[in-house]
Amino acid sequence: MCAAPLLKDVKNEKLNRHHAKKLVKCLCTEAAVILEKSSDAALLFKMPLLLAAENGIHEIVKQVTYSFPDAIWYYDNNNSEIFRLAIRNRHHEVYNLLYDMGDLYTNIVRQSVENGENILHLAGYLAPPDRLRIVSGAALQMQRELQWFKEIESLVQPAYKNKRNIGGKTPQEIFTASHKKLMEDGEKWMRETATATSCMVAVVLIATIVFTAAITVPGGNNGNNGKPMLGSERAFVVFGVLDALSLFTSSISILMFLSILTSRYAESDFLRA
């Protein structure tokens, strides 16, 4: 009974989204017929497009840029186009739309420079709070930020990677400075919130128990030949397999928690968190 209102809300949200997409498509189709100049289209669609890119509404971005290809060059008051807005605000869907443009995407990357900052500088800044909260835990947030930075780094020209902005900072220096607090919180989260110490104690206890069970044969041994008394029982075989599996998994867990406790917590370590 409690789930019914939630399902209804989800259904209504999907329905509203569907109607909004149809409305945008209809507007773009009609505008493409009526408007004769690209400047007229800019007056009508510039602000909605930039807001959609900034807020990650990729359906609107897709439809507007499809109907008006020149819309990718619309700039806001900070001289940022939809590509820079998508990178700065970590909107993967909008970014993927632009990435699929092929050669046009390459031209955007080359020309997307403002105040000496290329797109890798933008990726180096800390994401907005609402985008960080997509994943819980500072360590996972740091991992997500690193993955995004590395993704953009793999696409830019080699010369852009070490290029300095008007403040004299490279993209990597901006990333390190912007994420210093998050990295410290990530280390704290891994050590405390992840309860590595307490989990380590529990895992060691489990490993001790299963190891003891492994060397202690249930039912004892036959005094004449030294074989287990219950060796022919199916339950004995099942017990042996499960005990070995428990010993293996607990040993892996010990190594994992040891790596957490002894980690240097450098930036690159969070990629493997």
Question: Residue 179: its pLDDT value, please?
Answer: 92
The C-alpha atoms of residue 61 and residue 63 are separated, in whole angstroms, by 6
The C-alpha atoms of residue 250 and residue 244 are separated, in whole angstroms, by 10
Amino acid at 192: E
Question: Residue 73: its pLDDT value, please?
Answer: 82
The C-alpha atoms of residue 176 and residue 49 are separated, in whole angstroms, by 32
> CA separation (Å) from 116 to 9, 76, 111, 113, 165?
46, 17, 11, 6, 4
Question: Residue 267: its pLDDT value, please?
Answer: 72
Q: To the nearest 10°, the Cα dihedral for 101, 106, 108, 109?
A: 130
Q: Looking up tokens 């390459």, which residue turns up?
A: 106
Which CATH number does the domain 31-179 belong to among 3.40.50.740, 3.30.70.580, 1.25.40.20, 2.40.40.20?
1.25.40.20
Question: Residue 136: its pLDDT value, please?
Answer: 83
DSSP conformation class of 272: G
Check: CB of residue 242 under 8 Å from CB of residue 236: no
String of DSSP letters for 10-40: HHHHHHHHHHHHHHHHHHHHHHHHH--SHHH
Within 56-157, residue ranges assigned H as helices are 58-67, 82-88, 92-99, 103-111, 119-124, 129-132, 138-153
Question: Residue 126: its pLDDT value, please?
Answer: 94
Helix/strand number for the chain, H first, E second: 14, 0
> CA separation (Å) from 213 to 221, 241, 246, 247, 253?
14, 12, 11, 10, 19
Residue spans per domain, the chain:
31-179, 197-271
The C-alpha atoms of residue 99 and residue 92 are separated, in whole angstroms, by 10
Angle between helices 180-188 and 138-153 (to 10 degrees): 140
pLDDT along the chain (273 residues), means of 10: 62 76 80 70 83 88 85 83 89 84 68 74 92 86 92 85 89 93 85 64 79 70 65 74 83 76 69 64
DSSP conformation class of 127: P
The secondary element (H helix, E strand) that includes residue 185 is: helix 180-188
